[in-house]
Chains A and B, each alone.
Chain A
Amino acid sequence: MSTDAQLIRSDITAYLSKYEQKELLRFVAVGSVDDGKSTLIGRLLHDTGMVYEDQLAAVKAASKMEDGGIDFSLLTDGLRAEREQGITIDVAYRYFSTDARKFIIADTPGHIQYTRNMVTGASTANVGIILIDARLGVLQQSRRHAFIASLLGIPHLAVCVNKMDLVDYDEQVFDRIVAEFKAFAADLDFKDVTCFPISALKGVNIVEAAAETPWYLGPNVLQYLETVEIHDDLNRVDFRFPVQCVLRPNLNYRGFAGQIASGFVEPGDTLMSLPSGKTSQVKAVDLGGVPCDGAAVPQSVSIRLEDEIDVSRGDMLVKADNLPRVTRTVDAHVVWMSEAPLDTQKSYLLKHTTQTVRAQVMKVRAKIDMDTLEDGDGSSVGLNDIAKVTIGCTRALYIDAYKRNRGTGSFILVDSLTNNTVASGMIEAPAAGQDLDALLRETRAGSAIEPKTQVSPRERFDRMGQHGATVWLTGLPGSGRWALAYALERRLFDEGRTATVVDPTGNDFQGILSACKAATDAGFITICAYDSYQRDKRHVLRGRVGTERVLHVYINTDVAICRERRPNANFDGFEPPVEPDITVALDTVRLGDAVDFIVDQLGRRGQFERPD
């Protein structure tokens, strides 16, 4: 019986003032399918009295346990679709409190394809709980979960060796798993790793000392959650204040509103505003419009300065003697969270604190091999992959290493076409120091992205349903090549493709080449029949546009017919193509059939999106 329950009945006011003082702890629970994670959470909720009778009645009714018991996992598995699949599919948040603390649980699915959900839940967690099936021991899956938890900067790890009831609560089984896990975790970044022998199903070592494990003398899971020290996990040293908005209700008040990302601030402190580099003293720190003695991470405040310096959303206030790194290029781990793979040729939006800039992944340095957890081949990065990348930005960011500062060391990438969040980023430690001059130069520097198109070929393909190409038609005067060019354009257009004929009027060969390249880059099926008697000219064309993007069509209509059609034309010096992609004779093949043939060839080359 909880002492709180008695206090609620006897003195509600005393209870409320006690409750109000409780600290908040967030934890994320991860496990593979069938590790019993939902059961553990359901058990915690139930055993701490957080389940109302009507909820419990609904769960009892839905339980299909062999022994007629309660399926605690049903307390947490919310959505219809996942009830049908019998697994949790997305992050769910749960709440409970005890005499000591209030808890927020991020309940995330553990199988590998849902890395992104685990990362989501882990991003704000103080504690990570990993479940290991006592019968199976430390699986690769468990290592992955620990690796991700460490990467996301969770300070404290709790390893629950579950289903101890199925190994007869054997101490040796537990010790073996603990030894193996701790050896592995020694290379990770946790402040501490604590292991528990539990049975979620039977409620062993969850909220009470268990008779089943007399050899285990440590705390149970709940005791641990109630006492693990989290106060010093926040960075209380480096003051960083990303400005969310400027409060200017009247001429006498000008406050910069935001949430303190790290450190603390007091009236009288000398602050520098980035990017301007201007400094001023703090006149007041206001909480809800009322001045206070000072404030610390993670409080939302508004700061008033002595001087009228220009500060707006996206700027950052810092202490003049403790500056962040200011840079337009960052090295980071990214977790890819989108079905569309990472595209190094397109630009994304990068949101870092309150600033959003254009950014491009300039280099994928490695992709983490999720089997070995070591650097692997980074040639492609897709959904749920973790990669080490270098990102260039159009403007300077004010950063710290993620390990030192979760607030200024993290960012998200957003696809500006779909508006989806495609990646989350954890910034690596920047190289050695930067003096004030270098810092301010960086704030004034231009974009770190080389000035070139920010629209990648893949994006164009997604939009247009086709890759750009140049269909180059060669043949004698009178061979019918221009007629074929325009017929092909019409057909492609009718089929929903984007095509154009580069008109020869007023153009020389160089001009034609430029036009073909530009239209092909833009994703058009570009059609041209400009004179190119010499093989050299066609060679130059391939050089400019790219061999793989040129479809060379030779129209070898009978010479006699050509001469009959165009008696005054110049037929000298024509060099027939050596290896054209397509050869058609328009005296024996009908125009429509020739068009069919070319369109078919384009399709075979993978020019067009395949129908779904």
Chain B
Amino acid sequence: MHIDKQRLTHLQQLETESIHIIREAAAEFDNPVMLYSIGKDSGVMAHLALKAFAPGKPPFPFMHVDTTWKFSDMIRFRDQYAKDNGIDLLVHTNQEGKAADINPFDHGSAHYTNVMKTDGLKQALDKYQFDCAFGGARRDEERSRAKERIFSFRDDHHQWDPKNQRPELWNAYNTRIRKGESVRVFPLSNWTELDVWLYILREDIPIVPLYLARPRPVVERDGTLIMVDDERMRLHEGEVPMTMSVRFRTLGCYPLSGAVESEAADVASVVQEMLTNTFSERQGRLIDFDEDGSMERKKRDGYF
């Protein structure tokens, strides 16, 4: 078939649009950073960034906001991935929060997330004076995200104003900001969870093993399976870790990430389970259960 007749599959189309977005932001901002959360979406975004500038390296650093409560597998994976791909990786932890020993057990998920994640992110953005931060969020994840622009303006307090967003047409992105303001750029806006998994399969993108089912030590708490990832895990009276074959649909801080029972030990099986599943993805992430509309409020406050 001649080249002018070729049809792009939807994955190729999503890929090509995301690469355009990443290049556009890299070309127009002075000091961009790619926020890297180690999850599968971040993995896809990082892969797209590598492709966008191949055979060179992305002209911006990656940054992980480390709450110190991530799964140890995630940290190992992060460091290996950065090393293998020659990525300039920054790691930031909210030192005040760490000194005050803010943790998910004593302070509740909302406060802990606010201090270690949201404040940590804002600190890091201020510290390095980034004017653009790439994030791996997708519009299909949550209803308030469905309205967010691909280039999403943040004021000098990192806040998002959902009622006052810049119109965004075609692939013409307005990147103009004043000093102190910034833009969050979401190259995966139009991807769905299934697209992400398919792309991981097609491109053979490495993912944290926690996404795949393995026998792991867990306890059941409030109907959710929590993995006992290290000695800091506080067991309630009568709780005894049991070994179950589980995997994680989303990865965050281990005491806040619910596992699902599964036998899916490879990506194709995970997708199979997902497609026959009837629950949406963020079900496994406890921080969204605070109240209806909570994601929108967190985003106004600067959470990704």
Question: Could you say which of B36-44, B49-57, B89-97 contacts chain A?
Answer: B49-57
* Nearest CB of chain B from residue A9's CB, rounded to whole Å: 7
Of the candidates A19, A80, A249, the one whose C-beta lies within 8 Å of that of B57 is A249
C-alpha gap A236/B7 in the complex (Å)? 11
C-alpha gap A293/B24 in the complex (Å)? 25
Question: Cβ of A558 < 8 Å from any Cβ of B?
Answer: no
Give the residues in chain A near B269, CB-CB below 8 Å.
12
B155-192: which have CB < 8 Å to A?
A: 162-163, 165-172, 174, 176-178, 189-190, 192
Q: Are B55 and A244 in contact (CB under 8 A)?
A: no
* Nearest CB of chain A from residue B139's CB, rounded to whole Å: 5
Question: Cβ of A308 < 8 Å from any Cβ of B?
Answer: no
Number of interface residues of A (CB under 8 A): 82
B47-78: which have CB < 8 Å to A?
A: 51-57
A–B Cβ pairs within 8 angstroms, 14 of them: A15-B275, A53-B278, A54-B280, A78-B144, A95-B140, A119-B167, A120-B169, A249-B57, A250-B56, A253-B55, A289-B51, A293-B3, A296-B6, A300-B52
Give 12 A-B pairs besides A102-B195, A424-B169 with Cβ atoms closer than 8 angstroms: A78-B146, A91-B147, A93-B190, A95-B190, A120-B169, A257-B52, A257-B53, A299-B16, A337-B167, A354-B24, A410-B172, A414-B174
Question: Cβ of A23 < 8 Å from any Cβ of B?
Answer: yes
Question: Cβ of A527 < 8 Å from any Cβ of B?
Answer: no
The 7 closest A-B pairs by CB, nearest first: A289-B54, A249-B56, A78-B143, A24-B10, A288-B51, A419-B176, A300-B19
Count of A-B contacts with CB under 8 A? 195
Question: Cβ of B8 < 8 Å from any Cβ of A?
Answer: yes
Question: Cβ of B128 < 8 Å from any Cβ of A?
Answer: no
Of the candidates B52, B170, B201, B275, the one whose C-beta lies within 8 Å of that of A410 is B170
Q: Are A410 and B169 in contact (CB under 8 A)?
A: yes
Of the candidates B9, B54, B171, B192, the one whose C-beta lies within 8 Å of that of A20 is B9
A55-107: which have CB < 8 Å to B?
A: 55, 58, 78-81, 89-95, 97, 101-102, 104
Q: Are B172 and A24 in contact (CB under 8 A)?
A: no
Q: Which residue of B lies closest to A266 (CB)?
A: B3
Give the residues in chain B near A414, CB-CB below 8 Å.
174, 176
* Nearest CB of chain B from residue A414's CB, rounded to whole Å: 5
C-alpha gap A294/B55 in the complex (Å)? 18
* Nearest CB of chain A from residue B194's CB, rounded to whole Å: 8
* Nearest CB of chain A from residue B83's CB, rounded to whole Å: 19
Question: Cβ of A420 < 8 Å from any Cβ of B?
Answer: yes
Q: Are A52 and B293 in contact (CB under 8 A)?
A: no
Majority-rule SS of A interface residues: mixed
Q: Which residue of A lies closest to B292 (CB)?
A: A58
Q: Are A419 and B268 in contact (CB under 8 A)?
A: no
A333-357: which have CB < 8 Å to B?
A: 337, 349, 351-352, 354
Give the residues in chain B near A124, CB-CB below 8 Å.
169-171
C-alpha gap A116/B164 in the complex (Å)? 12
C-alpha gap A13/B14 in the complex (Å)? 21
Q: Which residue of B lies closest to A78 (CB)?
A: B143
* Nearest CB of chain A from residue B203's CB, rounded to whole Å: 9
Q: Are A419 and B177 in contact (CB under 8 A)?
A: yes
Give the residues in chain B near A58, CB-CB below 8 Å.
292
Q: Are B20 and A20 in contact (CB under 8 A)?
A: no
Give the residues in chain A near B144, CB-CB below 8 Å.
78-79
Q: Are B271 and A16 in contact (CB under 8 A)?
A: yes
Q: Are B174 and A16 in contact (CB under 8 A)?
A: no
Q: Which residue of A lies closest to B53 (CB)?
A: A247
Contact (A420, B54) CB under 8 Å given A8-B272, A12-B272, A95-B139:
no
Question: Cβ of A406 < 8 Å from any Cβ of B?
Answer: yes
Give the residues in chain A near B9, CB-CB below 8 Å.
20-24
A301-357: which have CB < 8 Å to B?
A: 313, 337, 349, 351-352, 354
Q: Are A244 and B176 in contact (CB under 8 A)?
A: no
Give the residues in chain A near B17, CB-CB below 8 Å.
259, 298, 300
Question: Cβ of B98 < 8 Å from any Cβ of A?
Answer: no
Q: Are B146 and A93 in contact (CB under 8 A)?
A: yes
* Nearest CB of chain B from residue A408's CB, rounded to whole Å: 11
Contact (A249, B55) CB under 8 Å given A24-B10, A119-B167, A424-B167:
yes
Give the residues in chain A near B271, CB-CB below 8 Å.
12, 16
Question: Cβ of A123 < 8 Å from any Cβ of B?
Answer: yes
Give the residues in chain A near B12, CB-CB below 8 Å.
299
Question: Cβ of B111 < 8 Å from any Cβ of A?
Answer: no
Contact (A351, B280) CB under 8 Å given A20-B198, A244-B27, A337-B167:
no
Give the residues in chain A near B278, CB-CB below 8 Å.
52-53
Q: Which residue of B lies closest to A419 (CB)?
A: B176
Give the residues in chain B near A236, CB-CB below 8 Å.
4-5
Question: Cβ of B23 < 8 Å from any Cβ of A?
Answer: yes
* Nearest CB of chain B from residue A86's CB, rounded to whole Å: 16
Q: Are A300 and B20 in contact (CB under 8 A)?
A: yes
Contact (A19, B198) CB under 8 Å given A247-B56, A421-B167:
yes
A374-415: which have CB < 8 Å to B?
A: 406-407, 410-412, 414
* Nearest CB of chain B from residue A74's CB, rounded to whole Å: 10
